[in-house]
Amino acid sequence: MIPSPHRLALMAALLAAPLAMAQTPPPADAPTPGDSRPPLSEINKKFDALYRSASSKGRMTMTIVTPNYERSLTMQIFTRGMDDTLMRIEAPRKEKGTATLKKGNEMWNYVPKIKKLVRIPPSMMMGSWMGSDLTNDDVVRASSWEDDYTARYIDEGAAADEWCVEYVPKPSAAVTWSRVVGCFEKGTFMPRRQIFYDEKKRKARTMRFSEVKEMDGRTFPSVMVLEPHLEEGHRTTIRYDDMDFDAALPPNTFSLNALKRGR
């Protein structure tokens, strides 16, 4: 008996289905068969949100070491999602009230001594913050590892219990690093170190993460040490003293008026 046209069409569809499935490309960051590594987006999103939540507030201490001096700053920090950040210096007294606000894609510094509000253009995001080895982008986390970089697994410098990832900025990203290599603890995705390369492909600096602690139900490295390779004797250490995640913040926390008022 000759199959009907409908039956022929059904048979053709069933025969073609396995071939179509075989030719469907996997997601860009999906592991290859037999690869136990998680999708890179899983690591990137956790890294982006490691010190953030819907809203948060806390205190940290930043210690700056150079061949000529050493100084420490105590700061309050407030965040809302990935877009808004406010950092305000509490001590020492001579710098109390100096603050930085990032709201969306814009950033300002406020200097209370001269009562001046200064807008930071995107071209200055890689500039030094408060004379430290941190950039403005480091402080307010303006860039996203998930959205602004193309990532791939590499074996470069990876220990047996680590995954290392190479990040290359996308053409549209306001980032001046040519590449960043980040290494994470397997299983927990906790960052251990990042190595930053400048536009000349030189190893420019290394950020090391340590002293993993739990604060307000969140586990993260509480200490970050940044050492530039192109400036001998320089080091900046950030220590999280306290964090409150999903904190209730006044609606005007991230306003220019609040930045200038100091509260």
The model's pLDDT over 142-170, given as tens digits with 9 standing for 90+, comes to 678 999 999 999 998 899 999 999 999 99
| Reported pTM | 0.80
Bridge partners (DSSP) of residue 91 are: 74
Look at residue 57 in the predicted model and tell me its pLDDT: 94
With respect to residue 203, please indicate whether it lies within any of the assigned structural domains: yes
With respect to residue 219, please indicate whether it lies within any of the assigned structural domains: yes
User: How many domains does one find in the chain?
Assistant: 1
With respect to residue 5, please indicate whether it lies within any of the assigned structural domains: no
**Helices and strands in the chain, H and E counts:** 4, 13
Q: Which of 243, 219, 250, 255 is nearest to 77 (CA)?
A: 243
Look at residue 51 in the predicted model and tell me its pLDDT: 87
Look at residue 12 in the predicted model and tell me its pLDDT: 41
Taking 50 as the pLDDT cut, the residues of the chain under it are 1-28
With respect to residue 9, please indicate whether it lies within any of the assigned structural domains: no
CATH number of 233's domain: 2.50.20.10
Instruction: Give whole-number Cα distances, 107 to 61, 85, 103, 132, 188, in Å.
Output: 21, 9, 6, 18, 32
Look at residue 151 in the predicted model and tell me its pLDDT: 97
Look at residue 102 in the predicted model and tell me its pLDDT: 87
Look at residue 77 in the predicted model and tell me its pLDDT: 93
Cis check: omega of the bond before 92, within 30 degrees of 0: yes
With respect to residue 33, please indicate whether it lies within any of the assigned structural domains: no
Residue 243, token pair as written in the block: 């964090």
Q: Give the structural domain span for 47.
A: 40-261
With respect to residue 211, please indicate whether it lies within any of the assigned structural domains: yes
Is 145 within 8 Å of 172 (Cβ atoms)?
no
pLDDT (tens digit, 9 = 90+) per residue, 220-237? 999 999 999 999 999 999
